Amino acid sequence: MPSIFTKIIDREIPADVVFEDDTCLAFRDITPKAPTHILIIPKREIMSLDDLSDEDEQTVGRCVMVASKIAASEGLTDGYRLVVNCGSDGGQEVPHLHFHLLGGRKMTWPPG
Ligand code: 5GP
Protein backbone atom coordinates (compact mmCIF):
# COMPACT_ATOMS: atom_id res chain seq x y z
CA MET A 1 0.00 0.00 0.00
CA PRO A 2 1.55 3.34 -1.05
CA SER A 3 2.48 5.63 1.83
CA ILE A 4 2.89 9.37 1.99
CA PHE A 5 6.52 8.87 0.94
CA THR A 6 5.39 7.37 -2.38
CA LYS A 7 3.46 10.59 -2.95
CA ILE A 8 6.67 12.54 -2.26
CA ILE A 9 8.60 10.33 -4.72
CA ASP A 10 5.87 10.88 -7.32
CA ARG A 11 5.86 14.63 -6.57
CA GLU A 12 2.17 14.49 -5.66
CA ILE A 13 3.01 16.31 -2.43
CA PRO A 14 5.89 18.75 -2.00
CA ALA A 15 9.08 18.11 -0.04
CA ASP A 16 12.39 19.88 0.41
CA VAL A 17 14.46 17.43 -1.63
CA VAL A 18 18.21 17.52 -1.02
CA PHE A 19 19.29 14.53 -3.13
CA GLU A 20 17.87 12.20 -5.73
CA ASP A 21 19.17 9.42 -7.95
CA ASP A 22 17.62 6.36 -9.58
CA THR A 23 17.63 4.45 -6.27
CA CYS A 24 17.05 6.96 -3.46
CA LEU A 25 15.37 10.20 -2.57
CA ALA A 26 16.40 12.40 0.37
CA PHE A 27 14.34 15.24 1.78
CA ARG A 28 14.08 17.29 4.97
CA ASP A 29 11.78 15.94 7.69
CA ILE A 30 8.63 18.03 8.05
CA THR A 31 8.99 18.07 11.86
CA PRO A 32 12.76 18.09 12.44
CA LYS A 33 14.08 16.58 15.68
CA ALA A 34 17.53 18.12 15.22
CA PRO A 35 18.93 21.16 13.35
CA THR A 36 19.60 18.78 10.44
CA HIS A 37 16.98 16.07 9.99
CA ILE A 38 16.88 14.45 6.58
CA LEU A 39 15.06 11.29 5.53
CA ILE A 40 16.73 9.02 2.99
CA ILE A 41 14.34 6.60 1.36
CA PRO A 42 14.57 3.95 -1.33
CA LYS A 43 12.36 4.73 -4.32
CA ARG A 44 11.34 1.08 -4.32
CA GLU A 45 8.37 0.49 -2.04
CA ILE A 46 9.83 -1.44 0.88
CA MET A 47 7.72 -1.19 4.02
CA SER A 48 10.39 -1.74 6.66
CA LEU A 49 13.68 -3.44 7.47
CA ASP A 50 11.65 -6.59 8.07
CA ASP A 51 10.48 -6.57 4.45
CA LEU A 52 13.91 -6.59 2.84
CA SER A 53 14.80 -9.32 0.38
CA ASP A 54 18.23 -10.22 -0.99
CA GLU A 55 17.64 -8.09 -4.07
CA ASP A 56 17.37 -4.99 -1.84
CA GLU A 57 20.96 -5.26 -0.63
CA GLN A 58 22.36 -2.73 -3.09
CA THR A 59 19.43 -0.39 -2.54
CA VAL A 60 19.98 -0.30 1.22
CA GLY A 61 23.71 0.09 0.75
CA ARG A 62 23.12 3.00 -1.58
CA CYS A 63 20.83 4.71 0.95
CA VAL A 64 23.52 4.45 3.63
CA MET A 65 26.19 5.77 1.26
CA VAL A 66 23.92 8.66 0.32
CA ALA A 67 23.35 9.44 4.00
CA SER A 68 27.09 9.73 4.52
CA LYS A 69 27.48 11.98 1.48
CA ILE A 70 24.63 14.22 2.64
CA ALA A 71 26.12 14.43 6.14
CA ALA A 72 29.30 15.75 4.55
CA SER A 73 27.46 18.21 2.33
CA GLU A 74 25.44 19.44 5.33
CA GLY A 75 28.71 20.12 7.18
CA LEU A 76 28.13 17.59 9.97
CA THR A 77 31.84 17.35 10.69
CA ASP A 78 31.36 16.65 14.42
CA GLY A 79 29.24 13.58 13.73
CA TYR A 80 25.64 12.63 13.27
CA ARG A 81 23.22 9.78 13.85
CA LEU A 82 21.60 7.48 11.28
CA VAL A 83 18.44 5.84 12.62
CA VAL A 84 15.98 3.32 11.24
CA ASN A 85 12.78 2.80 13.20
CA CYS A 86 11.22 -0.60 12.54
CA GLY A 87 7.71 -1.62 13.55
CA SER A 88 5.57 -0.34 16.39
CA ASP A 89 8.08 -0.92 19.20
CA GLY A 90 10.73 0.74 17.04
CA GLY A 91 8.53 3.81 16.64
CA GLN A 92 7.98 3.52 12.89
CA GLU A 93 5.03 5.62 11.76
CA VAL A 94 5.42 5.73 7.99
CA PRO A 95 5.33 2.26 6.38
CA HIS A 96 8.06 2.97 3.82
CA LEU A 97 11.66 2.18 4.81
CA HIS A 98 13.54 5.37 5.69
CA PHE A 99 16.81 6.38 7.27
CA HIS A 100 16.75 9.38 9.60
CA LEU A 101 19.92 11.47 9.29
CA LEU A 102 20.11 13.61 12.43
CA GLY A 103 22.80 16.12 13.22
CA GLY A 104 23.74 19.59 14.29
CA ARG A 105 23.39 18.90 18.02
CA LYS A 106 24.80 16.47 20.57
CA MET A 107 22.79 13.24 20.61
CA THR A 108 22.02 11.37 23.80
CA TRP A 109 22.22 7.65 24.44
CA PRO A 110 20.18 5.53 24.91
CA PRO A 111 17.41 6.96 22.74
CA GLY A 112 14.02 7.36 24.38
P1 5GP B 1 9.11 7.22 11.59
O2 5GP B 1 8.46 7.56 12.89
O3 5GP B 1 8.20 6.43 10.68
O4 5GP B 1 10.46 6.57 11.74
O5 5GP B 1 9.44 8.59 10.89
C6 5GP B 1 8.59 9.21 9.97
C7 5GP B 1 9.09 10.61 9.78
O8 5GP B 1 8.46 11.15 8.64
C9 5GP B 1 8.79 11.55 10.95
O10 5GP B 1 9.98 12.09 11.47
C11 5GP B 1 7.87 12.60 10.33
O12 5GP B 1 8.11 13.89 10.84
C13 5GP B 1 8.20 12.50 8.85
N14 5GP B 1 7.11 12.85 7.96
C15 5GP B 1 5.83 12.38 8.05
N16 5GP B 1 5.09 12.89 7.06
C17 5GP B 1 5.92 13.69 6.34
C18 5GP B 1 5.72 14.50 5.18
O19 5GP B 1 4.64 14.57 4.60
N20 5GP B 1 6.80 15.19 4.72
C21 5GP B 1 8.04 15.10 5.30
N22 5GP B 1 9.02 15.83 4.75
N23 5GP B 1 8.25 14.35 6.40
C24 5GP B 1 7.20 13.66 6.91
Close Cβ partners of 33 (under 8 Å, ≥ 6 residues apart): 100, 102
What stretches of the chain show up as alpha helix (H) in DSSP?
4-9, 57-73, 87-90
Ligand 1 contact via 29 beta carbon (within 6 Å): yes
Ligand 1 centroid, distance to 94 Cα (angstroms): 7
Query: Which mean pLDDT values do the consecutive 10-residue runs of the chain (112 residues) have?
Result: 94 98 98 98 98 98 98 98 98 98 97 88
Ligand 1 centroid, distance to 97 Cα (angstroms): 11
Ligand 1 contact via 4 beta carbon (within 6 Å): yes
pTM beyond 0.95: the answer is: yes
37 in catalytic set: no
Q: What is the pLDDT of residue 74?
A: 98
Whether 40 contacts 70, CB under 8 Å: yes
